[in-house]
Amino acid sequence: MINSATEIQFRLHASKRAEGGDTVVAPSSHRGRLPRVTQVLALAIHFQDMIQRGEARNYADLARLGCITRERISQVMELIWMAPAIQQEILEFPPNKTGRFPVSEVAARRIAVHLDWVEQRDLWRKLKQDCHLD
C-alpha cells in the first residue's frame, strides 16, 4: 500500500549551491559524473525495488511519486530487462567530466527490448565495438 506522504527525489546532475558566497559542488563531481545510462539504470533498479517492497504498486504509482510521465517510467524500466551481465557493465561505467558516454540510454533500450539474453549479449558486443569500448 502506498503511503500518501511518500515522495521520490532523485538528482541526475551534480548540484551547485551558493552558501556565503562560496559554491558547493556535489562530492561526485571530483571524479566527474556517471554516464546518463548508468544513472537511469540505477534508477530503474531502485524503482523495481520499490515495487517489490510494496512502496509502489505499479509504474503509474512510480510516475505519480516521481512527477514524471507513465511513458517515461516505462522507458526507464525497459533497462531492467537487460541481461544481468550487461546491467553490471553499465553500472560499472566510469564517471567522466561531462557525464556523456559513447553508449546512450536509447541505445541500451534498443537492446533491452530483445528479450532473449543471448541476442542481447550479441547486440551489446556489437554496440561496444561500434563505440570502441572493447
94 found inside a domain? yes
At residue 15, the pLDDT reads 45
Q: What is the pLDDT of residues 83-100, one digit of tens each?
A: 999 999 999 999 988 767
| Whether residue 6 has pLDDT greater than 90 | no
Q: Rounded to an integer, what is the distance from CA 16 to the centroid of its chain?
A: 21
d(CA 14, CA 4): 29
Q: What domain range is 114 assigned to? A: 16-130
d(CA 114, CA 120): 6
Q: What is the DSSP string of 32-98?
A: -B--HHHHHHHHHHHHHHHHHHTS-SSHHHHHHHHTS-HHHHHHHHGGGGS-HHHHHHHHTPPPBSS
pTM of the model: 0.76
8 found inside a domain? no
CA distances from 13 to 22, 28, 130 (A): 19, 10, 27
Tell me the backbone φ, ψ of residue 99, rounded to 5 degrees. Answer: 85, -5
Counting the structural domains of the chain, the total is: 1
95 found inside a domain? yes
Cβ(48)–Cβ(42) below 8 Å: no
1 found inside a domain? no
20 found inside a domain? yes
d(CA 93, CA 28): 14
At residue 46, the pLDDT reads 96
